[in-house]
Structure 1
Amino acid sequence: MHTQAENDAMLRAVELAVSRLGRTGANPTVGCVLLDRGQRIVGEGCHQRAGEPHAEIVALAAAGGRAAGGTAVVTLEPCNHTGRTGPCTEALRAAGIARVVYAVADPWLPAAGGAAALAAAGIEVVGGVLATEAGWANRFWLKNVTRARPWVTWKFGATLDGRIAAPDGTSRWITSAQARADAHRLRSTHDAVLVGAGTVRADDPHLGVRHGIGGRPPIRVVMASGSAGLPFAARVFDGTARTVLAVPDTYPDIEAPPNVELLAVKASDGRLAPDALLAGLLDLGIRSVLLEGGPVAASGFLTAGCVDEIVGYIAPALLGAGPGAVADVGVTTISEALRWEFRDCVRVGPDLRISAAPAGAGGAGGAAFAGADRGPAADRGRWLP
C-alpha cells in the first residue's frame, strides 16, 4: 500500500523523468522525489545523462539531512551495482531512508535486485506504484532492454480524411506552422529519423531540427532497396549530421558518399526486414527512431509489429482523394483491424496532435506493465514529452 502523498510524489517523479526522455543516452530516464517523516517533499531530481549522478543521488543532495527517516519515491527500482556511479541502494541506506516506493522493477540484470538489497538492509519497500505512467516516461530505455531494439514512433501529418497529399502529389503544407514546430520538437527527442528512398526522391527532406527547437540533430537513416537512382545530391546526404544508408545485405558494392554510413540489412524481395533493420540500428547506438517515411514504409513497420507509438498531426481539411497515411497492412475485414488506444489529444494551433499505443500494450508497449497500479484516471496519458 502507498499513501496519497506518495502517489502525488510519484506523479511528480514521472514528470521529472519524462523531461529527460531521449536525453540520457544508453541510460534510463528516472525521476526521484524525497519525502521527510511527515511526508513533505524535501528533495527531488532526475538523471540528466549517462555518466552523471542518478536521480536518487541528485534528490539526496537537494534534501540533505532532511531525508533521514523519510521516503524515497522513484520511477525505477534503485540500482544495485557499481558502474560509472555507485549503487543507489547504498546511497539511500547511508542517508537513513526508511521507506522506498518505486514504480517499475529494473529489467536490466546487472543493476537489478535493488528492492531485495534495500529490504535486506531493513528498509521498507513498495513496488509497482504508477508503473504504467513511469514505464511510459522511460519507454525508450525499457524497449531497448526488454526487446533489444530501438523504440519506434511513427509520425505523420494528414487531413481529416487521412490524406497526406493531394491527387497531384502536393503536400506543403497540410498542417500548420505550429504543428510543424511541434513535430520538430518530437524529432529532437529521438536519436534518429527514418525515411525511405521514395520520400527522399519525392520530398528531398533535410530531416534536421528547425523552427527554433534546440538540441543535437538526429541521425538520419534512409532505407533503400539499392543505390540505383538514389539522389546523393539530396539534402539528407549533405554531411551536416550523421547519416546512415540501410540497404539489402545481398546488394553488392554500393558507392555512397564518404560521409554516409552503410548498413547491410536482411531483406526479402528487395524490402528490408524492419526487425533486422532495427537490430542493426541498435548496434549503431540508436535507441529511438522517429519513422517519417511514406505509407509503404509505415505499412511495413506496422505489419511487422515494429511500431510502438503513433503520433499524428491532423489538419481540419478535406481532400477526398490522394495517398493515405498508410498502405495495405493486410486487413481484409473489420475484425482484423489493428487496434490502438489513444493516449493523448492536444490542440496545436488549428490542428490536433494525437498519440496512440497498441491496444493492451501497457505503459511502455510491453506486457510487463499490464495490470500495474495506474493511479487516478485523470492522470493517465498526461506524460507526453
Structure 2
Amino acid sequence: MSLSYLRPTLTALAFVLVCACGGAPKPVAKGPAAPSPEPEAAVPADLSPNVLRDRRAEPGVRAPAKPLVIGKAGAAKCGKLPRPASDAEMSELLGGRLLVRPPSGAKVPAALPEAPAIEEESRVIVESPSKKEGSDVSLAIVARETFQLDPDLYEPEADAKAKPGSLDVEAPKFLKATFPSEEPLDVVPVELGTGPTKLRAYAARPPHPNAPPGKDTALVLALLLAQEDGTLESVGFYVRGETVRNATGSDLVGCTRLAERIAATIAPGPRKLERAAGKRKIADVPPETELAVTVPADYVSVPFGTGARLYKLRPLSLYAGSISVSVSDATEKKVPEGADATVAGKLLGRPMEWRGKTSPKGGFFFAAETLDPKENRKTAEVLVRATRQAKVLDEMRAVAETLSVVKRGP
C-alpha cells in the first residue's frame, strides 16, 4: 500500500482534531454565583429539658383498665341521635392527630374567625336527622391538644421544684379541672382499641349529667388520651338542646352511653407533632421570605391567622406556657397591662427592650419590632408567657430572640 493512499486520511484526521480542539481553550463564561446558604441558627439552651424514663410497664404504676362502654346497646339512647355504624367513615380530629367514627350525618362546623386552629382544638357535630318536636338534641365532640406529656414516660429535669405523680394520679386532677361539672366526676382508667392502635385513656363521667341552671348544654363524657409517643389529648362530649335544658336526674345517662360507644372508636391518627430541635416557621413574608425561630426539643408550633403560637411540651401538671408571634400593620406597640419590668434583649437581630412582669412562677414579656426598618410597614409582635417556672420565661425569651426573616423553605 502506497503512502499516498494514507496521506489524505491522516490529513483529514488532523483536520478533525484541530477543529475539535479549536486551538487554545477559552474560559467558560460564569453566571452569577449561587447565594450562600443561610447559616444554621444556634439552638437556644433548654433550661427545662424533659427526661425520657418509661415506667408504664413497672408494677404498681398503672391500675388495670376498666370497660369504657357500659350497659347494653339499647341503653345508648339520646333523643333521636343515631348510633355509630361499624362501616361509617372515620373523621379526623385535631388535623389528623386522632380519628373517630361518629354517627352518620356528622359535620365539621365552619371555623370562626377567632377560633383556635384545628391543630389546637377541633369539633364534630352530630344532629338528629328528625326535626320533630322533642328531637332537638345535638352532640358535640370537642378535641383539644393539651401540649403536655405522659408523666409515666417523661419526667422533668432533676432540679425541678415540682414533679408530677403517675398518670393515674394526675389524669383525674386534669379532667376535673378542665371539665367543670355540677357533680364530682367519676374518673377511671380505660383502654381504646387493640393492638398497635390501643390507647390508654381516662374516662370522666358525671353521675347525673345535667346542664347548669339556665343553660342548655351538658357534659356527658370526657376523656384524656395518652398516645404511644407520650403526647396527651382531651376529648369532651356535650349534648345541647331544650331537652337538655329541662333534663333532671338520670334523663341524660343514655347520652353518656351513646358517647361511650362513639369514644370507643377513637384511634391514633397519622399526624405527629414536630418535636425535634430546629427551625419553626411563623409566617410568610412576601414575596420570598418567612419569619422563623429556632427552638430546643419539644417545642410545637401551631399556626393562627397572622402568625403562630409555640408551646413547650412538659409532663402533665407542669404546663409551661407559650410564645405568640403575630405580624400586624400596626406601628404602635401595645404593651399588655401590668408590665412593670424591663430587660435588655434583641428581636429580629436588633437591640431592644422587653417589657413585662416577672414572678417566681414565670410571668410575661412583650416586644415588637418592624420587619424592615426601611419600609416600616409590618410589625412582628411577640408575647412570651410562662406559667410555672421563672427559668422557663428566660428560656422562652431566648427562643423568641432567634426570630429572623429567612429565605422561604420548599
For the aligned pair, the TM-score class normalised by the smaller chain equals under 0.3
TM-score calculated relative to the size of structure 2: 0.26
TM-score calculated relative to the size of structure 1: 0.27
The structure with the largest helix share of the pair is 1
Larger Rg: 2
The structure with the largest strand share of the pair is 2
